[in-house]
Amino acid sequence: MKKTSESGFTLVEIMIVVAIIGLLAAIAIPNFMKNRETSQRNACANNVRLIDAAKEQWAMESGQVSGASVITASVNSYLKGETTPTCPAKGVYTYNTVGTKPTCTATGHDIY
C-alpha cells in the first residue's frame, strides 16, 4: 500500500506568519500616520508662505499700507490658479491684514 504525503502549511506555521505580519503592521502604521501629518503640515506652511508673498506683492503694487484690509480676490490673482489654496488637513486660510502673517485654522499648522 502506497502512503501519500500531503503538502501544505501547518497551523503553527500560518500563526507565526500572521504574528510577524501583525508585528510589522504595528510598527509601520504609526510611522505612516506621523509622516502623513508632517507632510500635511509642510504643505500647509508652504501655502501660507505663498499667500503671504502674494499679499505683500499685491500691497506693494496697489499702494496699501501696513494694517490695511486685504481684498482676497485681488490677492488671489497673484496666486497660481487665482484661487485660495486648500489646506491638506481641511483647515481654512485667513489672509489677515497687510503686514500680518496669514494663518491656518488646522491644529498645529502655525509653523510660519
Distance CA 69, CA 84 (A): 17
Give residue 111's pLDDT: 58
DSSP state of 82: G
Higher confidence at residue 79 or residue 111? Answer: 79
Q: pLDDT tens-digit profile of 2-38? A: 666 677 889 999 999 999 999 999 999 999 999 999 9
Residue with cell 500616520: 33
Dig out the grid coordinates for 34 from the structure.
Answer: 506621523
What is the per-residue pLDDT for 6? Answer: 74
pLDDT tens-digit series, residues 66-97: 999 999 999 999 999 999 999 998 999 999 99
Report yes or no: 107 and 92 within 8 Å, Cβ to Cβ.
Answer: no
Beta strands in the chain (DSSP E): 93-94, 103-104
CA dihedral 69, 73, 75, 78 (to 10 degrees): -170
Please give the model's pTM, rounded to 2 decimal places: 0.74
Q: Please, what sign has the CA dihedral across residues 16, 22, 27, 32?
A: positive
